């Protein structure tokens, strides 16, 4: 898989998110970890010819509450020059089907609180707001 092209898409995503900033080295490292370890997750892409124009990654874990495999939709991004063409919807539908076919019973995602268009997009595809409040602790090494 073309890690530099995927990292470029992530940079476009992280420039519009409040909590993150593009970091090519970190992005390439994370993408490579997922690609090398399919038990960790999967990266699905949409192409226009050879060019990757959209990506979504699902990271796998287990819900002890459900006793089932679940996924975190960590990143989803469509190249700015092809947005609005239905590529994101098609890719998300594919990711949901892939997850279901892989035994995943729930997909969780985070989106910026202020990004109402993203929230409408995910709602259109069956996602609903959770009563859970996301909290983070960043650890330094």
Residue 79 lies in a domain: yes
Hey, is 60 helix, strand or coil?
A: strand
- Does some domain include residue 106? yes
User: In the predicted model, what is the mean pLDDT of the chain?
Assistant: 94
DSSP, collapsed to helix, strand or coil, labels residue 42 as: strand
| Alpha-carbon gap, residue 64 to 75, rounded angstroms | 23
**pLDDT tens-digit readout, 43-94:** 999 999 999 999 999 999 999 999 999 999 999 999 999 999 999 999 999 9
Residue 17 DSSP class = -
- The per-residue pLDDT for 101 is 98
In a domain, 15, yes or no: yes
Q: Among residues 99, 102, 4, 91, which one has the least CA distance to residue 44?
A: 91
Give a yes or no: residue 135 inside a domain: no
Q: What percent of the chain has pLDDT over 90?
A: 87
Number of domains in the chain: 1
Query: Is residue 130 situated within a structural domain?
Result: no
DSSP 68-100: EEEEEEEEEEE-GGGTTSSHHHHHHHHHHHHHH
Domain containing residue 38: CATH number = 3.40.630.30
Dump pLDDT digits (tens) for 130-140.
Answer: 999 999 898 98
- pLDDT score at 41: 97
- Tell me the pLDDT tens digit for each residue of 63-76: 999 999 999 999 99
Q: Which domain holds residue 31?
A: 3-124
- Position 138 in a domain: no
The answer to whether residue 25 scores a pLDDT higher than 90 is yes
State the pLDDT confidence band at 18, using cuts at 50, 70 and 90.
Answer: confident
Residue 22: closest CA among 118, 71, 30: 30
Any domain includes 89: yes
44 is a domain residue: yes
């Amino acid at each position: 898989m073309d890690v530099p092209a995927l990292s470029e898409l992530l940079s476009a995503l992280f420039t519009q998110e409040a909590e993150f900033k593009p970091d090519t080295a970190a992005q390439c490292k994370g993408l490579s970890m997922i690609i090398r370890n399919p038990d960790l997750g999967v990266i699905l892409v949409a192409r226009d010819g050879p060019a990757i124009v959209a990506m979504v990654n699902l990271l796998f874990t287990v819900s002890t509450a459900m006793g089932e495999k679940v996924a975190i939709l960590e990143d989803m991004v469509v190249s700015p020059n092809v947005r609005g063409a239905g590529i994101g919807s098609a890719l998300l539908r594919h990711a949901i089907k892939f997850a279901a076919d892989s035994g995943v019973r729930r997909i969780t995602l985070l989106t910026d609180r202020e990004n109402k268009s993203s929230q409408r997009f995910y709602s259109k595809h069956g996602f609903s707001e959770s009563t859970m409040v996301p909290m983070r602790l960043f650890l330094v090494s």
